[in-house]
Structure 1
Amino acid sequence: MLSRLSLFAVFLIAEAADWHYTGEHGTSDWPHEYPDCGLVRQSPIDFPKTEDMTYDSKLTQFQFTGFDDLSRYSLVLHNNGHTAVIKVTGGDLFVEGGGLPGRFKTAQFHFHWGHSDNEGSEHTFDGHSFPLELHIVNYNEKYGSLADAASKDLDGLAVLGFWYEVSHNNNDDIAPLIEQLSHVPTKGSSVPLNGFNLAQLLPIHNIQSNSHFFRYPGSLTTPPCFQSVVWTMFQQTIPISSQQLSMFRALHEDQELQSDHFLVDNFRPIQPLNGRVIYRNFEVTAVGETQATQTTKPKRDMKINVRMHLV
């Protein structure tokens, strides 16, 4: 049994390690180099059809604190060679509710994408891939830090996932982020993300069915693959244009701007369920209609039943 200090060291080493998605040190090698990657509650997974999931009435609405108040936080966009990550470098942002086991502090946002518009997401739905997937990484505040929480089995982390789908038009909500990707072209490059409203990455501007989500116990999708994640994937997709997607594919996984080592296909293969139950927060009726667990009808100018707390 690894000590707390040893687990912390593993997490830090994996963050800086030279692991890859293909070739040497690729996904097939992860279980040998990081033993947790070979355990039985790994992520990502393929979500079954909604009727094959289990309804859980305890999966109520989420509460987001601080996301819509730009004065509360500071952000940095960083290319770490594996993804484009938005680090919350200052401020206190929290996520709670939604059946989560406590209050979780937001640490970072990152993306997974493919080499084309036909694949790129880590999680799939009934075998269907999406071109982009967003992960919002939050740690249980009772553990004090992301590094300390990352190894805590079952309740250390809560990751909110969102699928993107190709649209004919640009998504104006994420345009400010897309425009900054050209400033982090190579591994190790960073740029302050000033004036970007994180709430624009949340589904509060989309249709009400975004309050439908799925839940399962899983793991980090990159080494060291700790099985500490309460996973939430939202059912409704977010639009993004092919042109906007191409900006992610223009990033490099190394420090050579002129190289052809582009950062693409940064998704782990689907992992077996191994008997895990997948839950949904809405009921499926006999005629295929759905009903969210939330009982409070949202106002007409609110497009999703998610509370934003600006305390």
Structure 2
Amino acid sequence: MTVVLLLCIITSQLTVVLSSAGNFWTYKGSLGADHWHLDYPHCGGIRQSPIDLQTRDVVVDQTYLSPLVFSGYDRVSNLFFRLENNGHTVQVGLNDKTMMISGGGLGATFVAEQFHFHWGAVDERGSEHSVNGRHFPMEMHIVHFNKKYGNFSSSVGKVDGLAVLGFFFEIGRFNEHFQEIIDHFGEIQFKNQHININSIPMIDLMPARLTNYYRYHGSLTTPPCFESVTWTIFNETIEIAEEQLVEFRTTIFENDKSDGGVFMDISDDYRPVQCMFRRRLYASHPSLKYDMASPRENGNDGVSNQPTRLLFSMFLVCIWCILPFFSF
């Protein structure tokens, strides 16, 4: 753990002379996530998101992490939602500011602003967060701002400004509720295209069980990476059919329609997991504290021998490095 922490610190302090151009960013190449900190200094901070949720390290606090209170999530308003392709993801703007969350240790009331998706080109990747190293094919984020600051713009830079709910997807049954969004993908294929769609009861898009979740303090997962987010990642997943996920992968492009040439799909629009440093990961229920990778065949009561393996591997590397200096 000490070695990993040291590597994280060294990595966060590395600087590069050349900077990327302006405030344009991508998920790949010279303007990808490894270079965001050049134009957006917050992206090199020590409270960044996403992270790998290491369940054996969680602190269970059932009293503080009580069930969240959802207000207005079960209603349909007369206002339209704004569905758009912003070149980085599919995003749905929630014009109805009556959807709110509170309780659950949040310490304030937060108003729903928008939700968006991160997905992979294949089923084995796509989610931004991971659980014990396992990624999911897609992840949805519902972004909220602190009601006391009045709006999203005023909240985004405040340490307690935002609360984001994260949901993992798994391949399974056809999801008719998300199909109401997918049916409009043909109208937002290209960057900066947007349309108005009928509002949807947000509760229909979420899992039925919302009492088991993880909690930590982090950041936006895209530039400017402000460290202003209280993250809530739910344990229960959302089912979606393979053919529905294919629509995300093949219909939504990061290009502008006027670009011409080969259109590039947005798939793999996720930031790699970031270092935890000294942050704590909390859980709302004891069942969330487990380690799927713990070796138990050696009668060690599930205690991982990963640190021992790490030290042994480092020893072998050192031996390999110094062998050329000896003659036999």
State the partner residue of 1:173: 177
State the partner residue of 1:264: 267
After TM superposition, give the deviation of residue 284 of structure 1 in Å.
3.9
Task: Say if 2:97 and 2:112, in contact at 8 Å, map to a contact too.
Answer: no
Cα distance in 1 between the residues matched to 2:179 and 2:193: 20
Match of 2:218, as an amino acid? Answer: G
Cα distance in 2 between the residues matched to 1:283 and 1:130: 22
Kindly indicate whether residue 47 of structure 2 is the aligned counterpart of residue 54 of structure 1: no
State the partner residue of 2:194: 190
SS of the residue corresponding to residue 186 of structure 2 reads helix
Match of 1:104, as an amino acid? Answer: F
After TM superposition, give the deviation of residue 180 of structure 1 in Å.
1.6
Gap runs ≥5 in structure 2: 1-21, 292-328
Q: Specify which of 157, 164, 168 is matched with residue 159 of structure 1.
A: 164
State the partner residue of 2:204: 200
Cα distance in 2 between the residues matched to 1:252 and 1:223: 20
After TM superposition, give the deviation of residue 104 of structure 1 in Å.
0.3
SS of the residue corresponding to residue 153 of structure 2 reads helix
Q: Deviations over 1:23-55 (max 9, x none)?
A: 122111111110000010000000012x43101
Cα distance in 1 between the residues matched to 2:95 and 2:227: 25
Task: Say if 2:215 and 2:233, in contact at 8 Å, map to a contact too.
Answer: yes
SS of the residue corresponding to residue 265 of structure 1 reads coil
- Once the two structures are overlaid, the 10-residue window that deviates more, 95-104 or 194-203, is 194-203
After TM superposition, give the deviation of residue 286 of structure 1 in Å.
10
State the partner residue of 2:213: 213
After TM superposition, give the deviation of residue 149 of structure 1 in Å.
0.5
State the aligned residue count.
266
After TM superposition, give the deviation of residue 177 of structure 1 in Å.
1.3
- Greater share of residues in strand: 1
Cα distance in 1 between the residues matched to 2:109 and 2:186: 35
Larger relative contact order (C-alpha < 8 A, sep ≥ 6)? Answer: 1
TM-score (structure 1 length as normaliser) = 0.81
RMSD: 2.0
Q: Deviations over 1:144-182 (max 9, x none)?
A: 1111111111x1100000000111x31122221121222
Cα distance in 2 between the residues matched to 1:235 and 1:94: 21
Cα distance in 2 between the residues matched to 1:226 and 1:287: 31
SS of the residue corresponding to residue 34 of structure 2 reads coil
- Once the two structures are overlaid, the 10-residue window that deviates more, 210-219 or 67-76, is 67-76
Q: Deviations over 1:93-151 (max 9, x none)?
A: 11111111200011000000011111100000000000000000000011111111111
Cα distance in 1 between the residues matched to 2:247 and 2:126: 14
Q: Deviations over 1:188-215 (max 9, x none)?
A: 1111111422221222xx3x4x420000
Cα distance in 2 between the residues matched to 1:173 and 1:116: 22
After TM superposition, give the deviation of residue 68 of structure 1 in Å.
1.6
State the partner residue of 1:234: 234
Cα distance in 2 between the residues matched to 1:58 and 1:216: 13
After TM superposition, give the deviation of residue 237 of structure 1 in Å.
0.8
Cα distance in 1 between the residues matched to 2:195 and 2:147: 27
- Change in Cα spacing, 1:64 to 1:287, as seen in structure 2 (3 Å) is closer
After TM superposition, give the deviation of residue 90 of structure 1 in Å.
3.6
Q: Deviations over 1:30-87 (max 9, x none)?
A: 11110000010000000012x4310112111111111221126431101000000000
Match of 1:234, as an amino acid? Answer: F
| Counterpart mapping for 1:49-128 below 5 A | 49=55, 51-56=56-61, 57-71=63-77, 73-128=79-134
Q: Percent identity?
A: 38
Task: Say if 1:177 and 1:196, in contact at 8 Å, map to a contact too.
Answer: no
Cα distance in 2 between the residues matched to 1:286 and 1:97: 22
Match of 2:116, as an amino acid? Answer: H
After TM superposition, give the deviation of residue 238 of structure 1 in Å.
0.7
Task: Say if 1:73 and 1:92, in contact at 8 Å, map to a contact too.
Answer: no
- Once the two structures are overlaid, the 10-residue window that deviates more, 56-65 or 212-221, is 56-65
SS of the residue corresponding to residue 274 of structure 1 reads coil
- Change in Cα spacing, 1:286 to 1:131, as seen in structure 2 (3 Å) is closer
SS of the residue corresponding to residue 74 of structure 2 reads coil
Gap runs ≥5 in structure 1: 1-15, 289-311
